[in-house]
Amino acid sequence: MIIKLAIEVAISAAYEAGRLTRERFGDLTSIQEKDEHGDLVTEADYEAEAIILAKIRGVFPDHRIRSEEFGDNENESDWVWLVDPLDGTNNFAVGLPLFGISITLLHRSAPVMAVIYEPMTDRLYTAVSGEGARCNGQVVAIGQAKPVAKPRVGWIQGHAVQNAQDAVKLRHYIDVQAKRMMRLWAPTLQWCMLARGDLDAIIVYNSEGEDLYSGLLMAQEAGAVVFDYDGQPFTGAFRQPFLIACHSEHAEYFQNMVRSGLPSS
């Protein structure tokens, strides 16, 4: 019952926040740097966030909420909402129409519901644990395994990683081995591409954030396997996520790629 109501709330919030960001696109009055790594925040982030938080609090006042700009309300609850009101703010701020709204619900640290909305294309992605993934109501699946001699790989790294030596070496190795290595500055959209079968894999390098678990659940419910660099399956929250997501038949291939690209220990 909670999850059914939660997804209704999340969809309503995503649509409303999406309308606001679409209207604000190209018409910003305030853009600020929020950390030393050059990450940005705009008035649209705050306004979209206020819409989403109000809707969640109105129905689930006792749930814990962690949101990109607001922070953590620190409620004691087995239910935790993760909110990124504008995933892809840097794109949004420079006029690149690649951004989305990400809302996830965790139960005891495991993602059970996710909504990702891409306002500029009006694509709404939903996933519920054990019930599959959908885009605008249509089932989304990664489909049959394709040859990966020259794969299309999405790369996602945490803001604090920057140009850490091991990350640079692995990133460069993947870039050379892949047909395309994609960095969109909007991770949730990359996860949706994997879910649709438009990417062969996603490599995550220490990227913990409010937008991570919506994408993970979307990919898993679309048929992808998610595991760490040592091959251990994703079962819940990671303190430092170093992950691979791909078709099950390609798991060994991409694990070997990552191992080959990392410096010898």
| 10-14, 40-44, 157-161, range with the lowest pLDDT | 40-44
Give the model's confidence band at 34: pLDDT under 50 very low, under 70 low, under 90 confident, else very high. Answer: low
pLDDT tens digit sequence for 174-190: 999 999 999 999 999 99
Binding residues: 68, 84, 86-87, 211
CA distance 249 to 240: 25
User: Is residue 19 helix, strand or coil?
Assistant: helix
Q: Please give the pLDDT value at position 123.
A: 98
The end-to-end CA distance of the chain, in Å, is 48
Fold exhibited by the domain 152-261: D-Maltodextrin-Binding Protein; domain 2 (3.40.190)
Q: What integer best gives the mean pLDDT of the chain?
A: 91
pLDDT digits (tens, 9 = 90+) for 112-140: 999 999 999 999 999 999 999 999 999 99
Give the pLDDT of residue 209: 77
Quote the pLDDT of residue 237. Answer: 58
Contact predicate 246/200, CB 8 Å: yes
Whose tokens are 């660099």? That residue is 229
- For the ranges 48-57, 151-160, 197-206, 250-259, the lowest mean pLDDT is seen at 151-160
Q: How confident is the model at residue 149 (pLDDT cuts 50, 70, 90)?
A: confident
Which is nearest to 105 in space by CA: 194, 14, 43?
A: 14
Q: Give the Cα separation of 164 and 219 in Å (integer).
A: 27
Q: Can you say which residues are annotated as belonging to the binding site for Mg(2+)?
A: 68, 84, 86-87, 211
The CATH homologous superfamily of the domain defined by 2-140: Fructose-1,6-Bisphosphatase, subunit A, domain 1 (3.30.540.10)
Q: What is the pTM of this model?
A: 0.93
pLDDT at 153: 97
In the chain, domain spans: 2-140, 152-261
